Amino acid sequence: MELIVKDVVYPGKALCKDDSGKAVFVDEGIDGELIEAELIHRHKSYDEARLLRVIRPSSHRTNPRCLHYRICSGYQVIDYPYQVRLKLRQLAGILKGIYSQKIFSEPANTIFHYRNKAVFHIDWDENRFGYRDALGNTVDVESCALLRKEINEKFALVRRRMQEKGPMSLERIGFRVNRNGEVLLILYVKGDGELSGDDVSVFSDLGFAGVVRIKGLSVRPLVGRDWLEEEVSGRRFRYYGDGFFQVNTEMAERLVSLLRQETMRIDARVVLDLFCGVGLLGLSLSDMVRWVYGVEQAPICKKALDVNSEYNTFGNFSFKLGSAGSVAWEIFEDRRMRARIDTVIVDPPRKGLSRSVREFLRKNGKIRNLFYVSCDPMTLRRDLLELKEVYKIEKVYFLDFFPNTGHIETMTVMRRRKRR
């Protein structure tokens, strides 16, 4: 059927209307375009369709760099300035009724070859190495325009070696790179399988800083080391093979700069950094505040936090391993600790804040300032709906960590409302 695209909605679907006025969501399209699409799923209130061809293209349409762009970065067909406008429009719509002031925009300077991490799936039966599509099939990838060039170069070498060697007990392979060009190779072992010495030798001479084996919860270096270090805004941070670290280092520096700027403005004293990862955000404030408390659930981050606290503090950082919700309430029950903390940073995964964390933030009246870093505006909206009764939203920043994709990263600055 032929359709006119009315809008591009988060996280990147083209919204159209059929002849009856029913909404049809298409996997690709830019507002204003006339397209031909094939219906793939009918629902009661909307339908889903797949783009077949663009009949009348938008002036904002560009040629994608990746053949597999619909899997890795569906916005590659949109010129970058318009991508930013779309995301700002989407974010404003999602936050409607919660925040109506200016959204501060931080576009990226580097829109290709920015990702410092990649994971590729393996289909040994079809001899495919690449990304998974919506149906769970492995789509063969030779290189990706979003990835740092060092990853593409190493992936090509590893891919060739695996094709020559044949099947081994691997379900995925991962790569991480720092700005010095050092690359870690991460081998994800499947099920009850294991790697032989011959398997490991396939990768040992390819110039990696380290080769790491991950099997379930077991993480072990096989060659070299299992960590990298990165400098962000003049501070050095260590992270391990499967531990969290921001995938766009340039934008991570932008986030740290904004956080420091806002921290100076509000005169924070004692900071609780929930979901602290390797300490990037909290430790970046260590020279500006009296104390930083970190909380992180992933055990793999402990070694990094031990090292990074030595690199970046003056003895004013401590951390505890545990879920953000449980540790937050331990702090709430400790009257001395509760009285000290005036500022909280939360940087949760896509699922957002748990009910326990939201309750802690609402009930702890000593918290004056709240920074909410979010990678999913839908869960951000849910959480802000509950928090806005207690906290006033002063600013929302859009930081484009993921150019050419539909992902939206934000930092929301909030201040506790005064009691009436």
- CATH number of the domain to which 362 belongs: 3.40.50.150
**Same domain flag for 278 and 172:** no
**Same domain flag for 252 and 384:** yes
**Same domain flag for 139 and 252:** no
Whether residue 99 lies inside any domain: the answer is no
Whether residue 398 lies inside any domain: the answer is yes
Give the closest residue to 381 by CA, choosing from 417, 353, 400: 353
**Same domain flag for 256 and 315:** yes
**Same domain flag for 219 and 256:** no
Give the closest residue to 191 by CA, choosing from 220, 216, 222: 216
**Distances in whole angstroms, Cα of residue 215 to Cα of each of 169, 264, 271:** 10, 43, 35
Boundary-marking domain end, from 40, 61, 82? 61
**Same domain flag for 208 and 268:** no
Domain that holds residue 10: 1-61
Whether residue 92 lies inside any domain: the answer is no
Return averaged pLDDT per consecutive 10 residues of the chain, 420 residues in all. Answer: 97 96 97 97 96 98 96 96 98 97 98 98 95 92 97 97 93 97 97 91 95 91 96 96 94 98 93 97 96 94 94 92 95 89 97 97 95 98 97 98 98 90
Boundary-marking domain end, from 61, 76, 97? 61
Phi/psi for 355 (5° steps) reads: -60, -35
Whether residue 76 lies inside any domain: the answer is no
Calpha distance 252→234 (Å, rounded): 12
**Same domain flag for 192 and 257:** no
Number of domains in the chain: 3
Can you give the pLDDT at residue 418? 85
Can you give the pLDDT at residue 218? 87
Whether residue 235 lies inside any domain: the answer is no
**Same domain flag for 134 and 220:** yes
Whether residue 98 lies inside any domain: the answer is no
Would residue 29 be called left, alpha or beta, if left means φ above 0 and alpha means ψ between -120 and 50 degrees?
Answer: left
**Same domain flag for 147 and 268:** no
Can you give the pLDDT at residue 121? 97
Whether residue 87 lies inside any domain: the answer is no
Calpha distance 357→348 (Å, rounded): 10
**Same domain flag for 40 and 127:** no
- Which pair of structure tokens corresponds to residue 10? 């988060």
Boundary-marking domain end, from 45, 61, 77? 61
- Which pair of structure tokens corresponds to residue 221? 């270096």
State yes or no: cis peptide before 299, omega within 30 of 0: no
Give the closest residue to 232 by CA, choosing from 214, 208, 251: 251
**Same domain flag for 224 and 359:** no
Cβ atoms of 148 and 177 within 8 Å: the answer is yes
Provide the CATH number for the domain around residue 57: 2.40.50.140
Q: Which of helix, strand or coil describes residue 376?
A: coil
Calpha distance 113→126 (Å, rounded): 28
**Same domain flag for 390 and 263:** yes
Whether residue 37 lies inside any domain: the answer is yes
